[in-house]
Amino acid sequence: MDKLEQLRSHNASPIIGVSRNPAKPLVLELDNTGLSWPSIGTKQRKNETDAQKQERMDKIAEAVKVIVEQLGEDPSREGMLKTPMRYAKALMFFTKGYEESLKDVVNEAVFEEDADEMVIVKDIDVFSLCEHHLVPFTGKVSIGYIPNGRVIGLSKLARIAEMFSRRLQVQERLTKQIAVVLNEVLKPQGVAVTMEASHMCMCMRGVQKPGSSTITSCMLGEFRDNPRTRDEYLKLTRG
């Protein structure tokens, strides 16, 4: 069987290639400690001792030193001497969202309230690392929901966005994770999340198009089903 036939046998486009993981609806994964969509090493990282954390950073720093050497630089010169450990610490901060628990982030800040009108927090700054190139993408996310008898502390919307952005991410998944979590926590009439970001993997390399931005959205419930509700949200967040 030639390659084209193999592709066809997997019901895949010869242009796109073989998809071994067909898309599935994103469902909230939550373990008993409140970790949401925990990665393979999340629990180990979250529960390790100070000595184990230092060992982890030492390993990262050694790996960075190798990278610096292979780039043709001298890791022993004054300006580079502490760079491997600086970068190790920075990476741990950039990805601190892996260690954060949804339970701790929400912290019981969900309240019974006779409210059924749209709630929006817009232009929340987010910073993340593209999982394909490990370079930053930054932008703003707006989050809206229509309560169904329960509301959440406004700062928690920003904290949820922060938790998921501080991971290795793609913008499409980040947008949807925020929406799915809020939908699960509040059981509202609807949730809307929109994000606009600039990706350094497009600006600094590849097509090299600085000034370009990527917009993603995830609409659930009334925002997906009712065009007037969706239009109202979009009008309010773009203003």
Catalytic amino acids? 130-133, 171, 199, 201
**Sequence-ordered strand ranges (E) for 37-117:** 110-112
Dihedral sign (CA 180, 186, 192, 197): negative
**Dihedral (CA of 222, 224, 229, 232) sign:** positive
Contact 161, 199 (CB under 8 A): no
Is 7 strand, coil or helix? helix
Only one residue has tokens 């329960």, namely 150
| Whole-number Å distance between alpha carbons of 26 and 7 | 26
Neighbours of 97 (CB within 10 A): 20
Q: What are the residues whose beta carbons fall under 8 Å from the beta carbon of 144, sequence distance 6 or more?
A: 118, 119, 120, 121, 191, 192, 193, 223, 233, 236, 237
